[in-house]
Amino acid sequence: MMHRKKLVFTFLAVFMLGSTLGIIIPKDAAALDESYFKGKKMTFLVPFKPGGGFDTYARLLSPYIKKYLPVRNVIVKNEPAGGGLAAMNRLARSKPDGRTVMIIQTGAAVINELAEVKGIRYQSGKFTWLARVTSSPNVLVSNPKSTLKTMGDLQSLNREVAIASIGRDFSTITAILMLKAFDIPYRTVMGYSGSGEQIMAVIRGDADVCALSISTLKPSIDAGELHGIMVLGKMETDMSKFSEEADRLNISEKNRTMLGSLAGILDIYRSIAASPGLSPELARIMRTAFEKAFTDPDFLASAKKSNRPVHYLNGEETQRLVETAVENFKNDASFMKMVKDIFGGAY
Amino acid sequence: MKSNLADWIIRISFVLLFAAFGAFSFYYPPKTRIIPLIVCICGLATALVDCIMPKKGINANAQDIGGEDIVAGLGFLEEFKAWLWLALFFGLVVLGGLIYGSVIFLFFFLKWFWKEKWSVALSLPLVTGGCIYLLFHIAFQMELFGGLLFE
Amino acid sequence: MIEAWVSGFTSVFAPSALFLLLIGTGIGYAIGFIPGLAGAFALAMLIPFAISMESAHAVVFLLAAHAVVMTGGSLSAILFNAPGTGANVPASWDGYPMTRMGQGGRAIAAAATASAIGGVVSGFVLMGLIPVVRAILLAFGPPEFFMLSVMAYSFVASVTGRYPFKALAAVFFGLLLSTIGTDPALAIPRFTFGTFYLWEGVDLIPLVMGLFAVSEMIKLAISKKGIVSGGVQIGRDVFQGVKETFQKWFLVLRCSGIASVIGIIPGLGAELATFMCYGHALQSSKTPEKFGKGAIEGVIGAEAGNNGKEGGSLLTTLAFGVPGSSSMAILLGFFITMGIIPSPEMLKEHLPLIFSMAWVIIIANVLGACISIFAGRYMAKISAIRAPLLVSVLLVVTVIGGAASNNNLGDIGTTFLFGFIGYQMDKFGYSKAAFIVGFVLGKITEKNLFISIQIYQGAGFLLRPLTIILAIIAIAAFAWPIISQKMKKNRENNEK
């Protein structure tokens, strides 16, 4: 009898000890906080070359990520191959351990995915979006010396409107979609190497229009070198300078929806995402840290100094906006057709 | 100029190169293919002339810009060994990254190619690797390629 | 105008500005010296420091650094055949042979002096062309850019070397490689063999590092030789290099002038300016056969061209906000922060500011030259370090330099591959200079050709007056070497 009691006792003791130990010794998922990042290295992917806008934001932000997460180091890694698509593939296949983040040109990511460009191995909606960096309304501009001052003027032009473009980059697509929404025939003058050359092309009269982000164009518009025809996307500055023609020209509901979706994407122009499949706790920790970084007054001051506006939006909202945008576009048959036409055969 | 056989191999390689790319260009739409095609046709013509009339237009007194003549008598074996070393360097960098690959390569290169003393073969790679690490990782805050084994 | 000129000058000498100018010059020079770290990379690395400064100081700092990156790059081009940037390549064509003959000091000094004069000239060009820059930029469009790049091909005729048909094959090889990547007409990735890496084409820096530096190191390793066999008094001829450059002042001025004009035009690239200046030096020389073997005129011409284009490039960036290069794009960002909004009005309203920028360029160039000249004496001695150590370390450094900018496996592969190809090209007599010209110019030519065709929806662009003028000049440039050869032969026949 004593022998059996001892056995049971021992068994119970071992069982309880084991369970207690099991609770005390932390498993990763169980007791997760910032200390998870202690001593780890974080890679910050940038889909463009050093010195550009995306790269600058990443470099400005890195010290503040280090401030709010005990990472050993934040390394900015530029990977411009494929116009940034290679970097997005890399993010998609990275381990969901929170150690890889990327600043993404959301519009390009979504559009290329919808166009099913060969070689794409990511899905925008599946990334764990951590924050929005900037929204960037785009402006369709023309030469002030030309007669093209409104969308109506473009419509009544009895030839194709020439768009100065780099290639199949997002600014070109925005310009094309803006024109298509108003049923304006267009052709592209493709091959320019950067926004500067696109602007020169319009000023010189080699092309009729181009569409670029408002921060890029504002200096030229203010100086009177360019005339703003239409703005797409939400703006924080005064809109009275630019004409809003949608109502006046009675564009169709379908096209209105499409422009709305496009504006939605421009609203999250630059955003930061982490690997897909991140656990909710990890996502929460990272989003909180990024929120603190983005609202840090020193960060905001240095961003201002570098002439880089910041429009922070939290991770959950950004995630929702991306997923909604993808959904909206997928359900918009005419938009999908337009995208396939623009990209068709090229890849 | 090196041995006749090697020279002919190179000449024919150029012919094949232009022919191949010229054929590949038909995979693309007309606007995309036109410039490469023109280049390949001209290149093919030039390479063929070079094959058929190898002595044409040789100007022995002309300057030779951008490259000096390879010292005569280097020997095929010597060159081949050098390429093996270069391939080793490449392999080490691909696997171990720019810094580790370079340090390990330097060690082997100094010891077994140049036959340097142990002290040199050990210290110089470490010093070089250290300087590179300081410059890029610390000063520029830029991480160099880490190698397939580590990335 | 004179007041602006003077006040621009004095504001640069304020202690804090001067201090930053010095620091910026030193750092820019050092980064330029490291093989493979090109201009925009240097600026990108300096951005974190610049951000912590006041805007005006940041501009002085960055501008000074940017102005001397080429000067630093010419040092590694001349000493080790490892050009810091694509635009430093021609300097190595004559500078490195000079180093091999133990004349490294003289070459460095000549390069430095020519760079300084080129930079100074470009600073004055910046100041002087302000009233007309807008007119120039509006008149020059893609059709003119196309013609200019065609003109640059005439340079090839001068560098064919011993085997003209092999050189031609090399040019077409370079042209072919330049077509790899996204095509300008339809934005279709071409010859990319299924990789994203090649979407932007073969990158210039790994190509140049491999083709010139790595192949040279392999060459030295195989022949078990160092760069310079010891015994020669190295570094003592530094002041001779300075003197000779001043003696050839007219060549320097001409090349600076050519480069300044090319610099004004955005998108043509730094390499074009330098190649054309080298070509001009070659064609105007009384001893063209010496080029490629250590002709100091080659070094002088190339380096004057290098720094000569900076002033023009800055002017365009300020006049229109259109950066001529990625370095200028970075600078532009800082200008805007300072409240300098590029526009023709700004050129009139902020004249003192623009003049002080020009002075920064001028002074930084002079300083950079001084660094080269005084340090050159000792740096040249590096070339005499014995082969096992020097060649091994340089091999490693140039590979890293080739791969560092983008840091991917593709660039590493490119560097090694072109190390092999460069060696073979030398061995079998295919001109690497011709190849590089084809590669660099190919993209510019095709891009501007297609843009012109798209703008005019046909070949109508060829009828533009400026295009026709440039075409005539281009034909002349092509014909000149042939005509001058014939004239030379006739003269020799008559003398007989």
Tens digit of each residue's pLDDT (9 = 90 or more) over A146-192: 999 888 899 898 899 999 998 888 888 889 988 988 889 999 999 88
In chain A, which residues have their Cβ closer than 8 Å to the Cβ of C447?
191, 193
Query: A59: nearest CA in chain B?
Result: B141
| pTM for this predicted structure | 0.88
Pairwise CA distance, residues C35 & C396, whole Å: 11
Separation in Å, CA of C105 to nearest CA in chain A:
34
pLDDT reported for residue A67: 92
Average pLDDT (A43-71) is: 88
Q: Higher confidence at residue A219 or residue C26?
A: C26
For residue A75, list its beta bridge partners. Answer: A43
pLDDT of residue A241: 40
Kindly give, in sequence order, each residue whose CB lies less than 8 Å from that of residue C82, ignoring residues fewer than 6 positions away: C35, C36, C76, C92, C209, C212, C213, C394, C397, C398, C401
pLDDT, tens digit (0-9, with 9 covering 90-100), for A243-252: 455 556 677 8
Contact check, Cβ <8 Å, C342/A56: no
Instruction: Write the single-letter amino acid at B84.
Output: L
Using the beta-carbon criterion (under 8 Å), do C425 and B83 form an inter-chain contact? no
Sequence-separated (6 or more) residues with CB below 8 Å from residue B150: B96, B97
Q: Where are the domains of chain B?
A: 5-139
Give the model's confidence band at A335: pLDDT under 50 very low, under 70 low, under 90 confident, else very high.
Answer: confident
The pLDDT, as a whole number, for residue B66 is 66
Q: Is A56 in contact with C138 (Cβ distance < 8 A)?
A: no
| DSSP state letter for C129 | T
Inspect the interface and report whether the beta carbons of A76 and B141 lie closer than 8 Å: yes
Identify whether the C-beta of residue C294 lies closer than 8 Å to the C-beta of residue C94: yes
What's the count of helices (H) and strands (E) in chain B, helices before strands?
Answer: 4, 0
- Contact in structure between C227 and C101 (CB atoms under 8 Å): no
CA dist C123 and C110 (Å) reads 20
Cβ-Cβ contacts under 8 Å, B32 against chain C: 183, 185-186, 188, 190
- Which comes out higher in pLDDT, residue C87 or A342? C87
Q: Residue A344: what pLDDT?
A: 66
Chain C residue numbers with beta carbons less than 8 Å from the beta carbon of A305 are 51, 55, 337
pLDDT at A240 over 50: no
Contacts of B39 in chain C (CB under 8 A): 172, 175-176, 179, 442
Q: For residue A346, what pLDDT is reported? A: 53
Q: C487 — contact with chain A (CB < 8 Å)?
A: no
- Which three-class secondary structure state does DSSP give residue A66? helix
Stretch A36-62: mean pLDDT: 87
Task: Measure B66 CA to nearest chain C CA, in Å.
Answer: 5
Q: How far apart are CA A141 and CA A216, in angstroms?
A: 12
Q: Which of C380, C394, C392 is nearest to C99 (CA)?
A: C380
Asked whether the beta carbons of residue C393 and residue B128 sit closer than 8 angstroms, the reply is yes
B-C contacts (CB, under 8 Å): 205
* Predicted pLDDT of residue C318: 83
Measured between beta carbons, the chain B residues lying within 8 angstroms of C395 are 89, 109
Q: What is the Cα–Cα distance from C217 to C12, expressed in whole angstroms?
A: 43
* Residues B59, C164: C-beta atoms closer than 8 Å: yes
pLDDT tens-place values along chain C, 496 residues long: 667 667 666 777 788 888 889 999 999 998 888 888 877 778 888 877 887 777 778 888 999 999 899 899 999 999 999 987 888 999 999 999 999 888 888 999 999 999 999 999 988 888 888 888 888 888 889 999 999 888 888 777 777 777 888 889 999 999 999 999 988 888 888 998 888 888 888 989 999 999 999 999 999 999 888 888 765 667 778 888 999 999 999 999 999 988 988 888 877 777 888 988 998 898 888 888 888 888 999 999 999 988 888 888 888 888 877 777 778 888 887 777 777 777 767 777 778 888 888 889 899 999 999 999 888 888 888 888 888 999 999 999 999 988 887 778 899 999 999 999 999 998 888 889 889 989 988 988 999 999 999 999 888 888 899 899 989 988 888 887 777 777 877 887 887 6
CB contact under 8 A, B143 and A75: yes
Alpha-carbon gap: A330 to the closest alpha carbon of chain C (Å): 24
Q: Which of B31, B35, B143, B148 to mutate to test the interface with A (most CBs of A within 10 A)?
A: B143
A181 CB-side CA count, 13 A: 29
Chain B residues 4-63 within an 8 A CB cutoff of chain C: 6-7, 10, 14, 17-18, 21, 24, 28-29, 31-32, 35-36, 39-40, 42-43, 46-47, 49-50, 53, 56-63
Question: Coil, helix or strand for B121?
Answer: helix
Residue B97 φ/ψ region, left for φ over 0, alpha for ψ in the -120 to 50 degree band, beta for the rest: left
A121 at C interface, C-beta within 8 A:
no
N-term to C-term CA, chain C: 60
Q: State which residues of chain B have pLDDT below 50.
A: 1-2
Residues of chain B found within 8 Å of residue A65, distances taken between Cβ atoms: none
**Any chain C CB within 8 A of the CB of A194?**
yes
Q: What is the ipTM of this complex?
A: 0.93
| C193 contact A CB<8A | no
